[in-house]
Amino acid sequence: MLKFNTNFFLYFFCSIAGLFLFITCSHKEVKEIYVEPIPVVIVEKESDYSNDMIVVYKKLVSSIKKRDIDGIMTCYSDVAQYSYSDTVFSELRCYNNELNVTGVDTIRLQYGSMFRKKYLDSIEYEIINVNNSKKQLKIINLWANSDYGVYEYLHFDIIDGKFLIDSHSIVKERKGAKG
């Protein structure tokens, strides 16, 4: 009975395959066969932005649950505005007793104040609407089972190809509100 040396057989087969490729294909063709182009994502293109906004939203919620103010701030643009509607409870105000603050430094103070006052301790976050129209990128979030009965409107902007919260508004819950 004949015994085959597997190393010899493998070497022989690879040599034949290499010779075949060398004879039938040019170097450029072989390179084109095995090199796949890297896809480039262009944000300016009209498309469905829902997933991108939801990623930022989930990062915001995760950072809030961890009480990570630095993580929260990475979700906001430098000129973002955080505001309360005048129809919400009078106890829901910004750290300076105003209805709104602008800029990441004051929003940072706002989150510090909300953590101290425990505003964010009893909230179950529930997205009820995502508007991915390029003209008005926003998520409407319900503070479900909270003591406040409010909606949260997160308006996004695309800055340097990255989705960031540009405006964060807290408004009184209305029956049947869909945004």
Residue 131 domain flag: yes
Mean pLDDT of the chain: 75
Question: Are the CB atoms for 79 and 102 separated by under 8 Å?
Answer: yes
Residue 14 domain flag: no
Threshold 0.75, pTM exceeds = no
**For the residues 82-91, what does the mean pLDDT come to?**
85
Could you write out the three-class secondary structure of the chain? CCCCCHHHHHHHHHHHHHHHHHHHCCHHHHHHHHCCCCCCCCCCCCCCCHHHHHHHHHHHHHHHHHCCHHHHHCCEEEEEEEEECCCCCCCCCCCCCCCEEECHHHHHHHHHHHHHCCCCCCCEEEEEEEEEECCEEEEEEEEECCCCCEEEEEEEEEECCEEEEEEEEEEECCCCCCC
CA dihedral in degrees (169, 170, 171, 172; nearest 10)?
A: 180
Residue 88 domain flag: yes
- Whether 166 shows a pLDDT value over 50: the answer reads yes
- Whether 2 shows a pLDDT value over 60: the answer reads no
Residue 4 domain flag: no
pLDDT digits (tens, 9 = 90+) for 34-81: 444 544 444 444 456 677 888 888 898 889 889 999 999 999 999 999
Domain that holds residue 85: 50-172
Residue 113 domain flag: yes
Number of folded domains that form the chain: 1
CATH code of the domain containing 95: 3.10.450.50
Residue 97 domain flag: yes
Least confident of 4-18, 64-78, 121-135: 4-18
pLDDT band at 33 (very low <50, low <70, confident <90, very high): very low
**For the residues 91-100, what does the mean pLDDT come to?**
89
